[in-house]
A and B are shown apart, each in its own frame.
Chain A
Amino acid sequence: MHGPTHRRQQKQRATIEKRNHRVVIATLNGEFTVKRLVQDEEGIFLVAENPEFDNIPIRVDSDFSIWGVVTHIIREV
């Protein structure tokens, strides 16, 4: 189907390119998550910094949005 959905996907792809490899706060299936956003030939993934966690593939029908890009981290030392 062309039309709005198609356009939205294109737009989403453009946004993701700009944010590729950045740490983002995203909403996935109604929950907030902090992950690294990665796009390669195989698709779009949310990647945890902890290697024990599996990458989460983002599909066209995923309930997914990028809430914001992480630019600073405040931590207690």
Chain B
Amino acid sequence: MLALADCNNFYVSCERVFRPELENRPVVVLSNNDGCIIARSNESKALGIPMGAPVFQIEEQLRRQQIHIFSSNYPLYGDMSDRVMNTFEASVPQVERYSIDEAFLELSGCNEEERLSECRELKARVRRHTGIPVSIGIAPTKTLAKVANHHAKRHPDCNGVFELSDERKRDEVLGATGVEELWGIGRRTGIKLRRAGITTALELQRADITWVRREFTVTGMRTVLELRGEPCIELETAPPAKQTICSAKSFGQLIQEWDPLASALTAYLTQAVDKLRRQQALTSAMQVFAHTNRHRRDDPQHACSVLLEFPPTDYLPELARRAVEGLRPHFREGMRYQKAGVLLLQLIPRSHRVGHLWDDLEQLEKQDALMSVMEQVNRRWGRRTLNLASAQDTHQWRMRQHRRSPGYTTCWSEIPVAQTG
């Protein structure tokens, strides 16, 4: 039997762990550059704050209703996520980390009662270890586990844990679930299904399988089978290595000169290379790009992009030099750039590096040693402690994060303080 464990309002919950006075008060978390609402506490949802709303449109409401606002703090959320996942992994036989705040679990309990108590215990343990509240939906398939989880969240009498294996109960819940709420049903598929007269998950479950396969391919068919309780989508305990790594962001303010743009580019590349090295891979091509803000109709528009190829490497200084030199000729003076980024391509496992006769092995070792030291220092003393000088001039492009909480768990100088007196 599977379960989907999902952290409740995850970003908000992370903030509240360290700000207990915000318990039961309306809280929201904003996207990068403080643009839109990306997480809401239940109290904020009840006040009618819409998901994804641009802040400037509802500023007045946020103030009037005294809603507490946070900029997003990804180092904190990433670290809290790790703690939650570690607790899952120490408690059940198999775990698939599905997203920052969700995991599929394989349960060992033989019957509903055992599984329910297993999950209640797990929920309590995660709360105890991390302070994060989770909801757990139990079912024979991933698609049903998603539905069960949703039910657990919406019905307070479940106390956050719900099992959907009994057929009668299953069909009852599916009958109350809109077809577009299902995992794997996108907006367009949802519209198409509604046009065909299928509005609930139960109707889809009972649809003719050959018709579904013809109209919605094998993906649609899998969803139907999963709704019938036949597992089609396996647990992926070792996530496949990424084929590409992207790091791109909007600037805190528009940039018109080359130097700050090059600096931003180097900083974004630093993050991409960090991910590259974590998955023990090398890259032999990258796309580097920058563009102006398309929504500013009155501004002259420009987008530039360049594809670079080179021998496989993970050495940041070399990649930074290539990226900056590669984009330089395409940059246009006087344009107001809004965003830049890099995309690392043609990744290969590091162990597949093909040595050349004239490779300077000593040089490669030195480069690797330098990168390792940089990573160790940054892990210990916080990101960006040790950095390429060209990435340090941040004031023009650094994200607007006026209301960011401290790095409680990732930075020694920002650790929470408890009073003894």
Contacts of A10 in B (CB 8 A): none
Contact indicator A32/B420 (Cβ below 8 Å): no
B20 contacts which of A27, A34, A48, A53 (Cβ < 8 Å)? A27
- Assess the B419–A32 pair: CB atoms within 8 A: yes
Complex Cα distance, B419 from A31, in Å, reads 8
Interface string of A30-69 (1 = CB under 8 A from B): 1111110000000000001110010000000001010100
- What sequence of 0s and 1s flags, for each residue 378-421 of chain B, a beta carbon within 8 Å of any chain A beta carbon? 00000000000000000000000000000000000000111111
CB distance from A54 to the nearest CB of B (A): 11
The docked-state distance in angstroms from the alpha carbon of A63 to that of B22 is: 11
> A67 — nearest CB in chain B belongs to which residue?
B131
What is the interface residue range for chain A against chain B?
Answer: 10 to 19
Residue B21 is within 8 A (CB to CB) of chain A in the complex: yes
Q: Which residues of B contact A5 (CB under 8 A)?
A: none
CA distance in complex: A53, B421 (Å): 7
Q: Is the CB of A48 within 8 A of B420?
A: yes
Looking at the assembled complex, report how far the CB atom of B43 sits from the nearest CB atom of chain A, in whole angstroms.
16
CA A53 to CA B416, docked complex, whole Å: 22
Tell me if A50 and B419 are in contact (CB < 8 A): no
Residues of chain A with a CB closer than 8 A to B417's CB: 32
B20-A30 in contact (CB<8A)? yes
In chain A, positions 3-38 with a C-beta closer than 8 Å to chain B are 25, 27, 29-35
Give min CB distance, B177 to chain A, whole Å: 27
**Chain A interface SS verdict (over half):** strand
Please, which residues of chain A bring their CB within 8 A of the CB of B418? Answer: 25, 32-34
- Chain B residues within 8 Å of A31, by CB: 20-21, 419
Min C-beta distance of B138 to chain A, whole Å: 22
**How far apart are the CA atoms of A25 and B20 in the complex, in Å?**
13
**Beta-carbon contact of A49 and B20 below 8 Å:** no
Query: In terms of DSSP, what is the predominant structure of the interface of chain B?
Result: loop
Q: Which of B334-361 contact A (CB under 8 A)?
A: none
The A-contacting residues of B in range 15-29, CB under 8 angstroms, are: 19-23
User: Could you say which residues of chain B place their CB within 8 Å of the CB of A30?
Assistant: 19-22
Instruction: Tell me the complex Cα distance, A48–B419, Å.
Output: 10
Cβ distance B382 to chain A, nearest Cβ, rounded Å? 19
Contact size class for B? 10 to 19
- CB pair B20–A65 under 8 Å, yes or no, is yes
Complex-state Cα separation, A34 to B420, whole angstroms:
5
User: A32–B22 Cα gap in the complex (Å)?
Assistant: 13
- Residues of chain B lying within 8 A (CB to CB) of residue A48: 420-421
**How far in angstroms is the closest Cβ of chain A from B120?**
12
A15 CA to B417 CA, complexed, in Å: 24
In the complex, which residues of chain A have a beta carbon less than 8 angstroms from the beta carbon of B23? Answer: 63
Pick the contact of B419 from A34, A49, A67 — CB < 8 Å? A34
Which residue of B131, B416, B421 has the most chain A CB atoms within 10 A of its CB atom? B421
Q: Contacts A30-B20, A31-B21 hold; do A49 and B420 have CB atoms under 8 A apart?
A: yes
Cβ–Cβ < 8 Å partners of A34 in chain B: 418-420
Provide the bound-state CA to CA distance between A11 and B214, in Å: 54
Contact of B421 with A50 in the complex, beta carbons under 8 Å: yes
User: Quick one: closest B residue to A26, CB to CB?
Assistant: B418
For A33, list chain B residues within 8 Å (CB). Answer: 418-420
Please, how many angstroms separate the alpha-carbon atoms of A50 and B19 in the complex? 26
Chain A residue with Cβ nearest B418: A32
Which chain B residue lies CB-closest to A53? B421
Minimum distance in angstroms from B396 CB to a CB of chain A: 37
Query: Once bound together, how far apart are the Cα atoms of A29 and B21, in whole Å?
Result: 7
B160 to chain A, nearest CB (A): 13
Residue among A34, A49, A53 with the highest chain B CB neighbour number at 10 A:
A34
CA distance A27 to B20 in the complex (A): 7
A63 to B416, CA, bound (A): 19
Shortest beta-carbon distance, A58 to chain B, in Å? 14
Q: List 27 A-B contacts (CB under 8 A).
A: A25-B418, A30-B19, A30-B20, A30-B22, A31-B21, A31-B419, A32-B20, A32-B416, A32-B417, A32-B418, A33-B418, A33-B419, A33-B420, A34-B418, A34-B419, A34-B420, A35-B420, A48-B420, A48-B421, A49-B420, A50-B420, A50-B421, A63-B20, A63-B21, A63-B23, A65-B20, A67-B131
| Chain A residues in the interface with B (C-beta under 8 A) | 25, 27, 29-35, 48-50, 53, 63, 65, 67
- For the complex of A and B, list the 9 residue pairs with the smallest distance between their C-beta atoms, beginning with the closest: A30-B21, A32-B418, A27-B20, A34-B418, A34-B420, A25-B418, A33-B419, A30-B20, A33-B418
